[in-house]
Structure 1
């Protein structure tokens, strides 16, 4: 069987940030290809560049050097001398950020946050988006949640599951998730991992950052370690 083409690929990407007069190099010359239906794990100490790598994979921010490819095409072009994000379609890669509460609009009811990727794509009327949100929330174990609740009425763990539901709402080609199970209890984590397996069985690629190395090695097809901005595959 021929090898599947990468859903996401980074080639020699680097990213740094100014810190006063210094420049901190968060990611250094990283190479990674994630294919349809794969689960790829990344772990490393705080400050090693994991979250920056996920933002690069999701094309949330551009690299300083190297290439980010989504579906085989460049994720970034330049317009008027500035980087311009150019994904294959809205919701092609969906991020789940480490702080789920901060990633949700505090003024919106939960159903609207979950259905936001579909609203951007313009593919469903309001009633259909609300029904889709209810379906996705049920999939992450929040079937009894009031759809009109706001993030301030939820726990951090519930907000985390809402963020995962939102990421899955647009049927993305890939999800990149930063510590998506860190605020969840053991039973909920087990259910979330079953959901991840189901999603990837349907073809969605998944990149997980976690401090839980045992979970990553049990769940993932490949696991990488990051240290000082460098990404290395772990053989096991």
Structure 2
């Protein structure tokens, strides 16, 4: 469980991000702030286009804010999270997998290079089993998988990394009810092991049941709602 005295995994301060130019420009984030502690699951709900995914991309170090700062722990290298400290699963799971890589290689990507080949394979198979893909041939390429399977592979890759911060953008959107419930249990398990989880979802009921804090986003502003 979360220890209030624990150092934050990530702190985002006064984030501003504008998309578009001229008369079409609009502020996607407007002074957004967020702090996540180890063991927390922070749920973020809001309508499409309100800035949720942009916030996650900034927290992942994949996009920079126009103004504001993000601080990661452990360590920051040139304003970016330390390698392996952050894992992200976005809505386009298939697009996040290299089409020329086998599933095994994609899941193994974040694993420590010092592991033996046998240990890496064992970790990959365990990660796939954890998301219900224990029977999947790990030599397959993403093109041979369904959208739901690609979503699970992306989740397996994230869980295998055992990051300090796990960012999940609608991670159950391509899954049936049973598979979605299993993934939410895995997010709970990750948090119980000390990972900070930030979950973006349209399912407010599921978020309320799972999360430590529930936040709403509207017009680029986060507010506490539960």
User: Aligned match of 2:171 in 161, 175, 180?
Assistant: 180
- Determine whether 1:218 maps to 2:203: no
State the distance in 1 between where 2:101 and 2:46 align. 34
Question: 2:60–2:81: 8 Å Cα contact kept in structure 1?
Answer: no
Q: Equivalents in 2 of 1:26, 1:76: separation in Å?
A: 26
Q: Secondary structure of the equivalent of 2:155?
A: helix
Is 1:96 aligned with 2:77? no
**Alignment partner of 1:113 is 2:106:** yes
Q: Equivalent of 2:134, from 129, 143, 151?
A: 143
Matched, 1:87 2:88: no
Aligned to 1:81: none
1:52-75, Cα deviation, whole Å (9 max, x unpaired): 0101111111111111010175x5
Q: Give per-residue Cα distances to partners, 1:71-101, cap 9 Å, x unaligned.
A: 175x574xxxxxxx5323x110111011100
CA RMSD of aligned residues (A): 1.7
Q: Shift of residue 4 of structure 1?
A: 1.7
Between the aligned partners of 1:110 and 1:126, the Cα distance in structure 2 is: 15
Partners of 1:64 and 1:20 in 2: how far apart? 16
Q: CA deviation at 1:192?
A: 1.0
User: Where does residue 125 of structure 2 map in the other structure?
Assistant: 134
Q: Which runs of 5+ in 2 are unaligned?
A: none
Match of 1:192 in 2: 183
Q: Does 1:162 align with 2:192?
A: no
What is the number of residues matched between the two proteins?
A: 224
C-alpha distance in structure 1 between counterparts of 2:128 and 2:22, whole Å: 43
Whole-Å separation in 1 of the counterparts to 2:37 and 2:4: 12
Partner of 1:82: none
Change (3 A) 1:122 1:210: same
Instruction: Report deviation, 1:19.
Output: 4.4
**2: CA distance, partners of 1:181 / 1:128:** 29
* Structure 1 runs not aligned, ≥5 long: 78-84
**Distance verdict in 2 for CA 1:30–1:170, change over 3 Å:** same
Q: Equivalents in 2 of 1:27, 1:106: separation in Å?
A: 32
Q: What SS does the corresponding residue of 2:5 show, helix, strand or coil?
A: coil
